Structure 1
Amino acid sequence: MSDFYVGADLFSELERLQRQMSSLFGGYPSSLRSSRSGTFPAINVGTTDDSIEIVAFAPGVDPQKLDVSVDKGLLTIAGERANTRAEFPETARRYAQERFSGPFRRVVELPQQADPDKVQARYVDGCLLISVGKRETSRPRAITVQ
């Protein structure tokens, strides 16, 4: 008989195993896809033929206090989200707090075809939209067969 036991919920067991492995290695994410839940700001990354598109969801952040920079292939988004005045009275005891406030910094590794001289950023409806152009040499092009 095997010592391997599969419980009723295999996925929860796999998640438990993943958490244990993460704690062994210091809890640092190994890539963008494996960043831990609750990281602020949450981001989506996509690509077109001409650019890498990044959307950072940062509601409640003053766009004037956002800092976007590119250095050595790393895109850094930094800023601060202030506390809102709709907080609990000081005498209240908190049982849960899900809204993040305070300084933040998020770093995204850009692919090699990203051109650091072609970065545009704008803030629209609580979202920071960043477009990083691709180098001319990395863009797809048609080759004529003679």
Structure 2
Amino acid sequence: MIYRSLFPRDFLSELERLQNEVRQNFDISPSIRGFTRGGFPALNIGSTAKSIEIYAFAPGTDPASIDVHIDKGVLTVAGERPSMLPPAETKATAHIDERFSGRFRRVVTLPDDIDASAVSAKYRDGVLHISIQRREAAQPRRINIQ
């Protein structure tokens, strides 16, 4: 059990803590860990000097059902993950259903220096890897001093 004083010394920080708890409890974004922040699919986004690397974790999703678009500097990953529950006509009862199923959509704003014509996407073992190259002019280069 976590000990909390009944009379907090800093009323505003205690109020902020309560707001955060309420926000977390009502944030209904399913993930592999249950109901937490974020959404499905979970994303890891990073960059190098030459590219933007995006990993979308979507196990159990058919790659043909995933749609990836770049338009005006915005990347959209959308698709559908089927339900694994037995059909209703089998009269089976599901006691716990924590796995996300249904339509999903994630939107990421990209930096201005990307080359939208140099994009690759690969799906392997439930992970969608999207690599977006940066424009050649935006990449760092060494200037020789004469």
TM-score for the superposition, normalised by structure 1: 0.73
Structure 1 103/64 Cα, relative in aligned 2: closer, same or farther at 3 Å? same
Mapping for residues 118-133 of structure 1, pairs under 5 Å = 118-133=118-133
Q: 2:18 pairs with 16, 24, 33, which one? A: 16
Say which SS state the counterpart of residue 16 (structure 1) adopts: helix
Distance 1:110 1:19 in 2: 31
Q: Does 1:144 align with 2:144?
A: yes
Say which SS state the counterpart of residue 64 (structure 2) adopts: helix
Distance 1:57 1:15 in 2: 30
Mapping for residues 1-40 of structure 1, pairs under 5 Å = 5-6=9-10, 14-18=16-20, 37-40=37-40
The residue number in structure 2 matching 1:57 is: 57
Distance 2:91 2:10 in 1: 48
Unmatched segments (≥5 aa) in structure 1: 28-35
Q: Does 1:70 align with 2:70?
A: yes
Residues 22-60 of structure 1, C-alpha deviation per residue, up to 9 Å, x if partnerless? 9xxxx8xxxxxxxx6150000000111211000000000
Alpha-carbon RMSD across the aligned residues, in angstroms, is: 3.1
- For 2:93, give the aligned amino acid: A
Structure richer in strand, relative to its length: 2
Q: Does 1:92 align with 2:93?
A: yes
The residue number in structure 1 matching 2:43 is: 43
Say which SS state the counterpart of residue 52 (structure 1) adopts: strand
The residue number in structure 2 matching 1:81 is: 81
Residues 114-145 of structure 1, C-alpha deviation per residue, up to 9 Å, x if partnerless? 11111100101000000000011110100111
The residue number in structure 2 matching 1:30 is: none
| Count of aligned positions | 128
Matched-pair identity in %:
44
Unmatched segments (≥5 aa) in structure 2: 1-6, 28-35
Distance 1:18 1:42 in 2: 21
